[in-house]
Amino acid sequence: MTELSAHLPQFQHGQLTENFPDNHLSNTNDNSERRRHDNSARRRNDNPESETNGQPQNNIQQVVEQDDEEDEELTLKYGAKHVIMLFVPVTLCMVVVVATIKSVSFYTRKDGQLIYTPFTEETETVGQRALNSILNAAIMISVIIVMTILLVVLYKYRCYKVIHGWLIISSLLLLFFFSFIYLGEVFKTYNVAMDYITLALMIWNFGVVGMICIHWKGPLRLQQAYLIMISALMALVFIKYLPEWTAWLILAVISVYDLVAVLCPKGPLRMLVETAQERNETLFPALIYSSTMVWLVNMAEEDPEAQRKASKNSTYDKQAPASQPQNDDAEADDGGFSQEWQQQRDSRIGPIESTPESRAAVQALPSNSQTSEDPEERGVKLGLGDFIFYSVLVGKASATASGDWNTTLACFVAILIGLCLTLLLLAIFKKALPALPISITFGLVFYFATDNLVQPFMDQLAFHQFYI
The span from the CA of 300 to the CA of 196, in Å, is: 51
Intra-chain end-to-end CA distance of the chain, in Å: 47
Question: Alpha-carbon distance 202 to 198, whole Å?
Answer: 6
Calculate Rg over the CA atoms of the chain: 25
Instruction: Write the DSSP string, 131-161.
Output: HHHHHHHHHHHHHHHHHHHHHHHHHHTT-HH
Residue 362 touching another protein (CB under 8 A):
no
Query: Interface with another protein by CB under 8 A: which range of 138-146, 271-279, 332-340, 408-416?
Result: 408-416
Of 323 and 450, the one with the shorter C-beta distance to another protein is 450
397 lies in the binding site for another protein (CB under 8 A) = no
**Minimum CB–partner distance for residue 403 and another protein (Å):** 8
Q: Give the whole-angstrom CA distance, residue 92 versus residue 390.
A: 11
8-state DSSP, 124: S
State the alpha helices, DSSP H only, in 191-243: 196-215, 220-241
Distance of CA 190 to the CA centre of its chain: 33
Q: Which listed range, 37-45, 172-180, 324-332, 399-407, lies at the site for another protein (CB under 8 A)?
A: 399-407
Taking the least distance from each CB to another protein, the nearer of 172 and 458 is: 458
Contact flag: residue 467 with another protein (CB under 8 A)? yes
By the rule CB under 8 A, 64 interacts with another protein: no
Nearer to another protein, 255 or 406 (CB): 406
Do residues 361 and 370 touch, judged by C-beta distance below 8 A? no
Per CB under 8 A, 131 contacts another protein: no
β-strand pairing of 288-290 with 12-13: unpaired
From 27-35, 165-173, 295-303, 404-412, give the range in contact with another protein by CB under 8 A.
404-412
Nearer to another protein, 84 or 208 (CB): 84
Q: Are strands 381-383 and 288-290 parallel, antiparallel or unpaired?
A: antiparallel
CA 298, 301, 306, 310 dihedral sign is positive
Q: Which of the residues are catalytic?
A: 258, 386
| 80 is a site residue for another protein (CB under 8 A) | yes
Q: Closer to another protein by CB, 136 or 407: give it.
A: 407
Number of residues near another protein (by CB under 8 A): 44
Q: Which residues bind another protein (CB under 8 A)?
A: 52, 62, 66, 70, 72-73, 76-77, 80-81, 83-84, 87, 348-349, 403-406, 409-410, 413-414, 416-417, 420, 446, 449-450, 452-454, 456-462, 464-468
